[in-house]
Chain A
Amino acid sequence: MNVITLSPMDLGVAALLVVALSGLSLHMRLGVERQLLTSAARTIIQLLLIGVVLKVLFDNAALVWVGLMAAIMLAVAGREVMARQKRRFLGWWGFGVGTLSMFVSSFTVTVLALVAVIGTTPWYAPQYAIPLLGMVLGNTMNGIALGLDRLTQDAAQRRAVIETRLALGHDWDRAISDTRREAIRVGMIPIINAMAAAGIVSLPGMMTGQILAGTPPVEAVKYQILVMFLIAGGTGFGTMVAVGLAARRLFDARQRLRLDRLSAPRD
């Protein structure tokens, strides 16, 4: 089965939509035409670049290059998690908590899938490893960002309650248990919703892509199920690790609540 190759002309037709939209925006004085055009341009440049990068990577399928690519993806995701926090941890923890937990969960889950489920040779075959890691990482990132944000904001808001519990002699993990449980739940809701709605409300992007590329629908569906479960595992375990580490970091060795380890809230 062959994919119908898209010519620059074909993309040009699609681009007309964006151009027309920005023209309308100008006419209606919505003021978004600039943003619209710049982000459209960013889409073209970034995707072309990654296309080239992936092509080079596929031609040189060495572990070191795949590893480097994975490390860059992880670092960017870690930065993104940090940027989304209203109150982030000061120092290296701000970047470290999210990045470490994404590393632990996303990498483990992806390697597990490559080695034990798909069985590619070599196990780090970039055609499989990079897209899988990307999907798991992207979703894990969301879960961790949501969970951490909820944890730190809730701890700050419920400071008096937590300190009352500490004053009564509760251990730190008992004093923060409600907040921690809620934060993990919040981090996991999106993937739970996505699994529940899959196929009825939304046709997941990966499956759609495979079908467009000519894969028989049932095969595409099987891959999508695999990916959904990987994402659920990565997000769930990643959020638990991140929220667990962060909750511990909110207390010092004398089990005092240390909100001074967080930055001031940003808008």
Chain B
Amino acid sequence: MPHLVRIDAGVMLVRAGSRSTPVRPRPTPGIASALSELRIDQLVTRHVGPIDLCVEAGECVCIQGASGSGKSLLLRAIADLDLHTGEARVDGLACADLPAPQWRRKVTLLAAESQWWCERVGDHFERRADDWMDRLDLPREAMDWEVARCSTGERQRLALLRVLVQRPGVLLLDEPTGNLDAHSTQRVEALLEDYRQREKAAILWVSHAHEQVERVARRSFVLRDGQLHERMRT
């Protein structure tokens, strides 16, 4: 029986982090679970963990938490960018059994701040993303723009597309709409929703905005004291 904690906002929290069995999501009818299920066992990285978590294929799970609580650290460890113990698996394939670049193509982290290394936007892309650019209100010529010419918001949307064209099965999103206005945020949410359903992708989404969490995820957790606490919907 999970240990229930009551906090002042009136939200029920289920202590989930340190249990030996991963937290199972409620069964979602109609979604095949054999595609890109992300399962995390006893993951520990710096002051975070041990964390157990399962994100089913086609599911979006949100993580909230105060600054410095280790949300980004958790995502970095899952992407195998930081030292960690414990294991992450995609459909039973363990991170340690795959070459790191191959793992990161399956389980791709989108950092909060987008980074660019070539002058032209298009040089960062493996292939074009015309339809998706339309959907995010980015002109198709943006591929020929200089990165320096783009606004922060444009760069953030382009960085998301740069990840999506590689078709990862698992997305680790670190505040993907952090620099966007309400309109663009809604566009990005819709695109990600569409991607999740079409690709049966698993999404782990770090967000500060409570309303966003309510919109995009059925399950969400709060990361506090290195542990994930499940948040019951009110």
Contact = CB atoms under 8 A, between A and B. Distances in A.
Interface stretch (B54-62, B97-105, B214-222): B97-105
Nearest to A177: B117
A163 interface: yes
B83 interface: yes
Given A163-B81, A256-B80, A256-B82, A169 B115 contact: no
A254 B100 contact: yes
A161 B117 contact: yes
A257 to B, nearest CB: 8
A166 B115 contact: no
Interface string A241-255: 000000000000011
B109 interface: yes
Given A167-B81, A256-B81, A161 B101 contact: no
Given A167-B81, A168-B163, A160 B104 contact: no
B166 A167 contact: no
Contacts of A169: 101-102, 104-105, 108, 166
Interface in B62-117: 79-83, 99-102, 104-105, 108-111, 113-117
B162 interface: yes
A171 interface: yes
A167 B108 contact: yes
A167 B159 CA distance: 12
A164 interface: yes
Interface in A148-186: 158, 160-161, 163-171, 178
Secondary structure of the B contact surface, majority rule:
loop
Interface residues of A, number: 17
B81 A160 contact: no
A170 B117 contact: no
A170 B116 contact: no
A6 B101 CA distance: 67
A178 B116 CA distance: 12
Nearest to A253: B100
Interface string B108-136: 11110111110000000000000000000
Contacts of B109: 167
A164 B158 CA distance: 13
Nearest to B101: A169
Q: Which residue of B80, B81, B101, B111 has the most chain A CB atoms within 10 A of its CB atom?
A: B101
A256 B117 contact: no
Contacts of B81: 163, 166-167, 256-257
Contacts of B102: 169
A255 B117 contact: no
A178 B119 CA distance: 13
A160 B101 contact: no
B117 A165 contact: yes
A169 B82 CA distance: 15
Contacts of A164: 111, 114-115
A167 B100 contact: no
A109 to B, nearest CB: 34
Given A166-B81, A167-B109, A256-B100, A161 B115 contact: yes
Contacts of B100: 166, 254-256
Nearest to A257: B81
A224 to B, nearest CB: 42
Nearest to B83: A256
B73 to A, nearest CB: 13
A168 B166 contact: yes
Given A256-B80, A256-B83, A168 B111 contact: no
Nearest to A160: B115
Given A161-B115, A255-B99, 12 more contacts: A158-B117, A160-B113, A163-B111, A163-B115, A166-B101, A167-B79, A168-B105, A169-B104, A169-B105, A254-B100, A255-B101, A256-B82
Top 9 A-B pairs, shortest CB-CB distance: A169-B105, A164-B115, A255-B100, A167-B109, A161-B115, A169-B104, A169-B101, A254-B100, A160-B115
24 contacts: A158-B117, A160-B111, A161-B115, A161-B117, A163-B111, A163-B115, A164-B111, A164-B114, A166-B81, A166-B100, A166-B101, A167-B111, A168-B104, A169-B102, A169-B105, A169-B166, A170-B101, A171-B101, A254-B80, A254-B100, A255-B99, A255-B100, A256-B81, A256-B100
